[in-house]
């Protein structure tokens, strides 16, 4: 089937990096990577494996990125020792892109912001949400720490070429509906294994009208549907975002008109409500109207999914001149130092603090139940993060609901899950 049709963007990038004219789903290939990423949980494991090779240098010190972001600022001695392993390795091998606290941000917000992601590139990271960078036209995917170690030595990784599923979203987006709602709705429709080891191509008029922040949110959560990667094909919004960030030339890649897709979905989003994922799976999705009135004790606005400046602006617009419900703790975590400063300069942080919210330095902390927002037994949180598995944010008998920043902010004011229009 695939030999007689054109290629998708994902297939073209993999073929190029493997030195082939064409690849088709199911092919096993060795491909050269443009960037390899590790964090404070996964990089120390990769470093130990790297040392077993007995080599004297990494494949390219400008193509390895280390970001301590999960337990930093260091939450305890063990976390501090993990960070030290990364720091010493970065110093020893002269890694150009090592981001210490103060320069650090949540990795999947930081790399695009710093101009390290370019269309047409192949990026791997020892973190499942590395798929985020597909929003800028790259093939990016998460790998294990041993694969990261091999890539740091060889500059290569192995892949089984995935088939591609195409998702078309058409119609004007209703007020308060954005990228988080689109991807939650999609996961709810196909399930957490619905795109297992597939590339997810997002397209349609709603995607064209979506901001880069919204696209990054969607690509970020492709893995929650089982996707190997998720991507949008580059357009003028992509190029405008990259201008001033990326100094090196890049070559955008596009799917052929006659490319073959395993399956095509068409969604009319013109009447879509904001979406909420109920415990304890990202595919347990319902419209916010079906979640209305559920009491919450904590709200988290941030993470690699929704900690960008647009997300903070939306949350602040809902909360402005209001107070957080006294029964709710609201944690706001700008995803990078630059976003933190921009939010400060725009007065967004003042809005959150006046509302009695808490503003944190960039960290993944509460998203994975690491620190800075752990839930106790019986507590319930509404978060803009990407996962709500049992015990994800703390005690196994706590609960996590997922939503957009607009729904999260409105619910923090109400003390229960509500549609933003009930508060604004």
Q: Which residues of the chain have pLDDT under 70?
A: none
* Residue given tokens 């093939």 in the structure block: 139
> Residue 402 pairs with which residues in a beta bridge?
277, 383
Residue ranges of the alpha helices (H) in 347-395?
348-354
Q: Judge contact between 221 and 305, C-beta under 8 A.
A: yes
Helices and strands in the chain, H and E counts? 14, 18
Give the pLDDT confidence of 145-168 residue by residue, as tens digits: 999 999 999 999 999 999 999 999
CA within 13 Å, CB half, 127: 28
Domain range list for the chain:
2-246+261-266, 277-422
Q: How many residues does the chain have?
A: 424
Give the pLDDT confidence of 336-380 residue by residue, as tens digits: 999 999 999 999 999 999 999 999 999 999 999 999 999 999 999
**Residue 52 host element (H or E):** helix 43-53
Class of domain 2-246+261-266: alpha beta
Instruction: Tell the burial category of 50 from Cβ atoms under 10 Å away from its Cβ (0-12, 13-18, 19+).
Output: buried
Predicted pLDDT of residue 153:
98
Which DSSP symbol is given to 200?
E
Can 2-246+261-266 and 277-422 be said to share one CATH topology?
Answer: yes
Six-digit token string for 283: 């595919």
Q: Judge contact between 262 and 337, C-beta under 8 A.
A: no
Distances (CA, A) of 339 to 21, 280, 327, 345, 348: 41, 30, 28, 10, 11
Instruction: Tell the burial category of 290 from Cβ atoms under 10 Å away from its Cβ (0-12, 13-18, 19+).
Output: middle
**Residue 312 host element (H or E):** helix 309-319
For domain 277-422, say whether CATH 2.40.30.10 is its number: no
Contacts of 150 by beta carbon, 8 Å cutoff, 6+ apart: 49, 156, 157
Predicted pLDDT of residue 3:
78
CA–CA separation, 368 and 385 (whole Å)? 9
Predicted pLDDT of residue 1:
72
Predicted structure pTM score = 0.97
Contacts of 200 by beta carbon, 8 Å cutoff, 6+ apart: 164, 165, 167, 222, 225, 227, 229, 230, 231
CA–CA separation, 148 and 106 (whole Å)? 19
CA–CA separation, 265 and 238 (whole Å)? 24
CA–CA separation, 215 and 208 (whole Å)? 9
**Residue 195 host element (H or E):** none
> Residue 169 pairs with which residues in a beta bridge?
267
Angle among Cα 413, 184, 259 to the nearest 5 degrees reads 150
Predicted pLDDT of residue 2:
79
**Cβ atoms within 10 A of the Cβ of 172, count?**
12
- β-strand pairing of 122-125 with 285-287: unpaired
């Amino acid at each position: 089937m695939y030999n007689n049709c054109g290629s998708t963007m994902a297939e073209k990038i993999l073929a190029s990096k493997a030195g082939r004219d064409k690849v088709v789903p199911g092919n096993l290939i060795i491909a050269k990577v443009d960037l390899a990423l590790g964090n404070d949980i996964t990089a120390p494991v990769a470093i130990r494996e790297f040392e077993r090779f007995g080599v004297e240098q990494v494949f390219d010190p400008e193509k390895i990125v280390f970001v301590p972001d999960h337990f930093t600022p260091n939450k305890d001695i063990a976390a501090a020792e993990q960070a030290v392993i990364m720091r010493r390795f970065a110093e020893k091998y002269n890694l150009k892109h090592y981001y210490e606290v103060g320069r650090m941000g949540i990795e999947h917000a930081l790399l695009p912001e710093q101009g390290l992601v370019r269309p047409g590139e192949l990026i791997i990271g020892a973190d499942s949400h590395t798929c985020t960078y597909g929003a800028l036209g790259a093939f990016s995917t998460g790998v294990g720490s041993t694969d990261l170690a091999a890539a740091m030595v060889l500059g290569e990784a192995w892949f089984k070429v995935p088939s591609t599923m195409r998702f078309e979203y058409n119609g004007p987006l209703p007020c308060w509906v954005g990228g988080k709602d689109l991807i939650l709705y999609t996961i709810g429709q196909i399930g957490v294994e619905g795109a297992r080891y597939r590339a997810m191509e997002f397209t349609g008029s709603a995607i064209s009208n979506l901001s880069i922040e919204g696209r990054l949110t969607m690509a970020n959560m492709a893995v929650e549907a089982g996707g190997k990667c998720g991507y949008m094909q580059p357009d003028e919004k992509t190029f405008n975002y990259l201008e001033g960030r990326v100094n090196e030339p890049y070559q955008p890649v596009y799917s052929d008109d006659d490319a073959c897709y395993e399956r095509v979905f068409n969604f009319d989003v013109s009447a879509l409500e904001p979406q909420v994922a109920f415990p304890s799976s990202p595919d347990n999705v319902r419209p916010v109207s079906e979640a209305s009135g559920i009491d919450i004790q904590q709200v988290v606005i941030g993470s690699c999914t929704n900690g960008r400046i647009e997300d903070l602006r939306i949350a602040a617009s809902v909360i402005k001149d209001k107070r957080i419900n006294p029964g709710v703790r609201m944690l706001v975590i700008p995803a990078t130092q630059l976003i933190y400063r921009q939010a400060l300069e725009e007065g967004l942080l003042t809005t959150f603090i006046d509302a009695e919210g808490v503003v944190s330095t960039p960290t993944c902390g509460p998203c994975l139940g690491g620190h800075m927002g752990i839930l106790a037994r019986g507590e319930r949180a509404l978060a803009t993060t990407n996962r709500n598995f049992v015990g994800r944010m703390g005690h196994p008998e706590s609960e996590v609901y997922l939503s957009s920043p607009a729904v999260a902010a409105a619910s923090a004011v109400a003390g229960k899950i509500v549609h933003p229009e009930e508060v604004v």
